[in-house]
Amino acid sequence: MESRPESQFPQELPPEPPREPILTLPGALTVYIALLAVIHLMRMMLPFDIDDLVVEMFGFIPKRYDSTLLDISFPGGEGAKVWTFVTYSLLHANLSHIGFNVLWLLPFGSALARRFGAARFFVFMAVTAAAGALAHLVTHEHAVAPMIGASASVSGTMAAAIRFAFVQGSFLSFSRGDADAAARVPALSLTRALRNGRVLGFLAIWFGVNIIFGIGSIAIGADGASVAWQAHIGGFLAGLMLFSLFDPVPRERGQGTDAPPPDALTRG
């Protein structure tokens, strides 16, 4: 009786780890989008005068910070000077306003939420919202109209995501449907990103579109509200430059760093 060589017997392969489809939203982004929707639906049930009060209390009003005001007060008092740097980003003018922001959040925000995890992602959205508000304040210091909308944070996610979006195997390649792996490819340092042709092309298009918004004074929605394009730029620059402070994924050797290494940061 002949014995079969061991190599001829079929060998069992280790099971592949479960893969999350690219189009499945991570939990943190789902919660964020749900929060925007719930807040807007609740506002839709309010009388117009009460909703206006909510917008004035939680929207970002540059005039609120005018030290020359003596006899004018805004809802929310001194506390609103702090919380409106973030809360304005949770309010929207209408459903199309939310839909437009969510449309851009789906690819870029999904990758970033997978990469950062929930805690880092929510802090990042708050920080980029505050950066957008600051840019709006500097350029509209006497404006009375409230600024609302998540566009500054959305811009921040786009800027942060391009730090790794054009790396081979990233989420833009949609390779093998492995969303977690695609979102955790090593990122480019800021200096290398600014020398990458595809990143520079993205930056040129993005800034060009926003400058056109500003020069043409394009309005969104039926109420003719102007686009706060300076806030977009503020959020975008914050996302681009502060990305490394949030990124937990180690860099490839030889890239250099533009921020302290992830292990030196406080974990969320």
The DSSP string of 87-142 is HGGG--SSHHHHHHHHHHHHHHHHHHHHHH-HHHHHHHHHHHHHHHHHHHHHH-TT
250/253 Cα distance (integer angstroms) = 9
Question: For 6-10, 144-148, 178-182, which range has the lowest pLDDT when averaged over its residues?
Answer: 6-10
- Residue 225's DSSP bridge partners are 220
Mean pLDDT of 200-219: 78
Q: What is the pLDDT of residue 223?
A: 45
With 70 as the cut, is the pLDDT of residue 217 above it? no
> What does the block give as tokens for 32?
């964020």
Question: For 116-120, 139-143, 174-178, which range has the lowest pLDDT when averaged over its residues?
Answer: 174-178
Domain ranges of the chain: 24-250
Q: What is the pLDDT of residue 165?
A: 87
Mean pLDDT of the chain: 82
Mean pLDDT of 140-159: 93
85/81 Cα distance (integer angstroms) = 7
With 80 as the cut, is the pLDDT of residue 102 above it? yes
With 90 as the cut, is the pLDDT of residue 263 above it? no
DSSP helix/strand/coil, 23: coil
With 50 as the cut, is the pLDDT of residue 128 above it? yes
251/185 Cα distance (integer angstroms) = 9
With cut-offs at 50, 70 and 90, classify the pLDDT of residue 264.
Answer: very low
Fold of 24-250: Rhomboid-like fold (1.20.1540)
Q: How do residues 46-95 score in pLDDT, each as one tens digit?
A: 999 999 999 999 999 999 988 776 567 788 888 999 999 999 999 999 99
With 80 as the cut, is the pLDDT of residue 36 above it? yes
Mean pLDDT of 222-246: 85
Which range has the top average pLDDT, 57-71, 213-227, 234-248?
234-248
Region of residue 224 (left: phi > 0; alpha: psi -120 to 50; beta: else) = left
